[in-house]
Amino acid sequence: MDPWRVLGLEATEDTRAVKRAYARLLKSTRPDEHPQQFQALHAAYKRALGLAEQRARAAAAGDTEPETETAGKRTEKASTATAAGTQPIPPETPEWPAPVVPDDPPAAPVEPEPAFQDQPPPPARDPEPAWAAAREREEEREPEEDEWLAASREHERLLTQCQALLEREGQPAEEKEWRFLANSAWMLDSAFHHGLGDALMARLVERLRQQDNKPPLDAVILAYLNSLFDWEGRRGLLAARFGDTAMDRVLAPLDTNSSGDQALLQGLRGGKETVPPSRQANTEPAPETLYFTGMTLRMVAIVIDLLVVAALLVMPIWVVSIVVADFNGTGGDISLESFMGVFLILAAPAYLLMALVMEAGPGQATPGKRMLGLRVTSLEFERLSFPHNLWRVMAFVVVNALTSKVVILVNLFLKGNLLHDRVSRSYVINWARSQREQKDEQ
């Protein structure tokens, strides 16, 4: 959409007019009340502002035809244009209202100076280091010559020390041996600090090449140096100079470094103790690929479960029957037959009850399944709710009790997703195997 129409303006080079029109419309298109219209208005505003600036520039250059076509991409274009610096760009009309502050910034250079990122600082051994320019602007300092000398001497001194640490044989340097860098008073000087950071990075890249692409620094030291030089933040700039892969390799150890909690707890005052978050469910993510549990394992699980049930039931039945027998005056003599009778009547319900409770419990498995590393889940691979599991248990009873022989036969061909699983919309997952395969893959 035409940004000028949205703003109700004729195409203009007057950025002030664009702002005024935007401000007026904004009062009736508040971001909190009309979010969508606001986004459209804001986009139009930004575009119009870009177009107006471009027109102004073109007008100043005597160019009558502004390139409206590239205007939409103002931000990207603007930076590449300045970085490439192929064409001298004429001075802009002031983009912002004139400042009222008495101490104005030093007069703006005729050619718009690029922002920090547009121009990679010159290489460290550049005959005219970056700080020289910065130095010149600061008048309250001592004679420039001395400053400049002092800075380059300090630069060399620190760099030599770094080199020594990098090349030291045997014991690799510890973090605290690098602290000398922060002790230099020069570090707070922007140009010096960027120059040093980049020069050190150049050494690291060199080192990387010498050592067959082995990262020259470990995670801890790299994290420390990164906190001084913001290499990660300036990655784009550095990559432009040293190449993407080299930067990836040098900075790779940062990716394994996690000192999160430490930063968090630093600065906290008081308290008897702090309790870290309990490591819960999401610290152990589900494996990417899950496997069903085959027939054999399922049978084994049931056998184990029945043994467990038996072990649990034998004692109580025995005790009860002795008491009952005593009471009946049969003198504590119980027949194996009646014992087995009672056991068989009780075993099936006991098994089902156990399945009902435990499969919907936190372990998601009966003892047998648990021993084999199996888990009962919903179709979303989550724990079943109790009603859902009740449905599952009932499906198990109905399906297997009605047509047991046929079912077993059919089940053999179902690859672990058995009939009663299907009826009850649940899965029995071989969690242990899924985890194992995931690990092997990595």
- Residues between 179 and 198 that touch another protein (CB under 8 A): 182-185, 187-190, 193
**Most distant CA pair in the chain: distance in Å?**
123
Among 5, 24, 168, 209, binds another protein (CB under 8 A): 24
**In the structure encoding, which two tokens stand for residue 229, read together?**
């030089």
Closest CA to 190 of 144, 235, 137: 137
Select 257 or 321, whichever has its Cβ closest to another protein.
Answer: 257
Instruction: Measure CA 127 to chain center.
Output: 42
To the nearest whole angstrom, how small is the minimum distance from the Cβ of residue 115 to another protein? 5
Which span (4-12, 205-213, 262-270, 368-376) binds another protein, by CB under 8 A? 262-270
φ, ψ (nearest 5 deg) of residue 8? 70, 40
Select 245 or 330, whichever has its Cβ closest to another protein.
Answer: 245
Asked whether position 84 contacts another protein by CB under 8 A, the answer is no
Asked whether position 270 contacts another protein by CB under 8 A, the answer is yes
To the nearest whole angstrom, how small is the minimum distance from the Cβ of residue 231 to another protein? 10
- Residues between 120 and 139 that touch another protein (CB under 8 A): 137-138
To the nearest whole angstrom, how small is the minimum distance from the Cβ of residue 417 to another protein? 12
Among 115, 314, 357, 412, binds another protein (CB under 8 A): 115
User: Helix or strand or coil: residue 304?
Assistant: helix
**CB 116, CB 236: distance < 8 Å:** no
**In the structure encoding, which two tokens stand for residue 283, read together?**
């610290």
Select 108 or 307, whichever has its Cβ closest to another protein.
Answer: 108
**Residues whose CB is less than 8 angstroms from the CB of residue 305 and which lie 6 or more positions away in sequence, other chains included:** 351, 354, 355, 366, 367, 368, 369
Beta bridge partner(s), residue 374: 430
Beta bridge partner(s), residue 430: 374
> What x-and-dash track marks residues 221-250 binding another protein by CB under 8 A?
------xxxx--x-----------------
What is the number of other CB atoms lying within 10 angstroms of the CB of residue 423? 15
Asked whether position 150 contacts another protein by CB under 8 A, the answer is no
Asked whether position 154 contacts another protein by CB under 8 A, the answer is no
- Residues between 35 and 54 that touch another protein (CB under 8 A): 35-36, 38-39, 42
Which span (282-290, 332-340, 360-368, 408-416) binds another protein, by CB under 8 A? 282-290
Rg (CA), the chain: 38
The residue with tokens 């620190």 is 158
